Amino acid sequence: MRKYIFLSAIFYLFTNSYAQTKEERLKISSFSDKIANNKLSIVLFNNEINRKVRLNSFLSLNPNYDVKSRVEENGIQELIDVLPTGEMIFAKTYNEGAGITARANRLYNGGTLGINIQGQNMIAGIWDGGNVRNTHQEFVTGSTSKITNMDGSSPAEHATHVMGTIIAKGVLPAVKGIAFNASGISYEWNNDLGEMLNEASNGLLVSNHSYGFGSLSSLWFYGAYDSRAKDIDGICYNNPFYLPVVSAGNSRNDTTAPGSIQLGNKSGYDMIFGHGNAKNVITVAAVGQVDNYTDESSVTMSSFSSWGPSDDGRIKPDISMKGVNVRSTLSTSDAATGFMSGTSMASPGVTGVVLLLQQYYNQLNSNYMKAATVKGLILHTADEAGDDYGPDYKFGWGLINAEKAAKTIKNRNVTTANKTIIDELNLTNNTIYTKTITASGSSPLKISISWTDPQAPTANSGATDPTTKYLVNDLDVKVTKNDTTYYPWKLQGMGATFDAATNVSTNNVDNFERVDINNPSGTYTITVTHKGTLSGGSQNFSLIATSDNLSTLSTNETLLATDNKVDFYPNPAKDYIKINEKEKDLLINIFDISGKLVLTSKLVDNRISIGQLVKGNYLASFINKKGEIKSFKFIKE
């Protein structure tokens, strides 16, 4: 039996290949960790077998149980699992204006950006409560449909509406999708994790998930980093170009337990569950249509969209998008359209924007962005929403702005004052990354890092509101100018959900961090470090920086070892430091906390003078004759 499972899992993993182009999909696939994917595929395969056994056992004892039922308007609820504890797990959907709200229309042919980005040759994947009506006029050209249904389930209203929001052609202009020239593949939600792994390993860039899995009888699911969140993080980490976009949920209008109980206990906060709490996805809140954004007052929160945080205090949802009265395709006929509201309608708008941004970046750079980059770009360029500046647990980082994100891509390669930085980098264990820039202007200097974090070693399986942190590789970004240090935004978790975000210390829970500096002027040093030991020995991360007048002062980005294997004294030190090294004439480089080189001194009689340094923390580094980088931290009194 074990051999059968292994072979089935491997066969499943390497079938069904699609492409933006075949060559592009193969290139993306080459970055996937095939060994890790094989191992995860076996785990997911066995989990799926066990789920079916549990469900079939329950149904054999309850033959009249209605497994799938309609909920809300055109929504679906399906019993998907029965845990050994008896908890019943359900999959539940979250039931032209979207393009305007996201400013995606400005990327189209004839738009204000002067480009022609409409989803050409791009592919969207969706998982939902049924298949898409692929014969709908919005998906067909001649006798050919641009939708491929991957399993035998029946067409569903909800799935058809979701897909139309992403890629409807615009036969009826009012239902034109965000990426209307793209095509799509559609799966029913049973065995979604195994299918997602398969598609990700074969080069799929983005998928939409307008549903959630959770118990309708237990409070602990809300905010929990459960096994689904953990598994999806594993899929994303193994396949660094793959980005799932998920809806935050509609639990703020629940009138039945446990949703109504949670709503009463938490005032609308801590309502997101399942894969919405994964670290490596984009979780989307639903807001009303925004015809002309002027400031945060332009963005109105819906009455239903679920608010964060996750139990460990991470910023969820990540971003906001129109999800109220969205008109799109329906499955009742080949010309049917209709209105729906819900975070289910918001997340496909973001999925469409991801397709457009990936297409544009590839057009300019001949390669696609990693998932962490495009996610970071969307969060970096979001428009402010909510009562206070910075992120919050209602709107996330704000309202998505495809135009601003596209401009950031466009200006990456320019040498003018509007230059932007989008760099994909790697931080190895015990190193510090620095980059020195100049910036000025009335718009804030914004500097972000984003990374796809490994799945946490454990998941929550029943505890209510634990504060366990699930961030594995904890990177930190800060920006310094002279004696001033600027820190990233951070929220304070369930104990302070109403409080505004702060930026007075490092962030130790989120895998996206952003530093905002108002009215920048002068030279700034960006420093990226990490806490503890990096899982896997290193961590890929993306650096994004924007300002009115931004330029890189120097291109020699410095990596400094911090392995702390040097015998030295005293510490703290006032005038000198003695280093117990046998080699003579070693050249010692000393850096301040921003990573700036402040002193180079030759080691004489195992001693270096530091009296000229100002008080503070420093790092000293040298290379011995073996080529080994050694370093140590010290305090100057």
Residues tagged active-site = 128, 158, 344
Report the amino acid identity of residue 391: P
Q: CA-to-CA distance for 478 and 465, rounded, in angstroms?
A: 30
Rounded to an integer, what distance in angstroms lies between the CA atom of residue 453 and that of residue 459? 15
Q: What is the dihedral of CA 369, 373, 374, 379, to 10 degrees?
A: -170
CA 609 to chain centre: 47
Classify residue 48 by burial, with Cβ atoms within 10 Å: 0-12, 13-18, 19+.
middle
How many degrees, rounded to 5, is the angle at CA 410 between CA 404 and CA 415?
Answer: 120
Rounded to 10°, the helix 343-365/402-410 angle is 10
Helix or strand run (H / E) with residue 355: helix 343-365
Question: 391: buried, middle or exposed (CB in 10 Å: 19+, 13-18, 0-12)?
Answer: buried
CA–CA distance, 324 with 385 (Å, rounded to integer): 16
Cis peptide, bond prior to residue 258, ω within 30 of zero: yes
Residue 329's nearest CA partner among 484, 457, 163 is 163
Closest CA to 87 of 258, 337, 205, 236: 258
Q: Are the beta carbons of 94 and 112 closer than 8 angstroms?
A: no
Which of 533, 559, 537, 565 is CA-nearest to residue 630?
565
Cα–Cα dist 106/381, whole Å? 15
- Here the tokens at position 450 are 């984003």
Any idea what DSSP says for residue 16? Answer: -
Q: Give the residue among 341, 354, 307 at the shortest CA–CA distance from 158.
A: 341
| Residue 533 to residue 612: CA distance in whole angstroms | 33
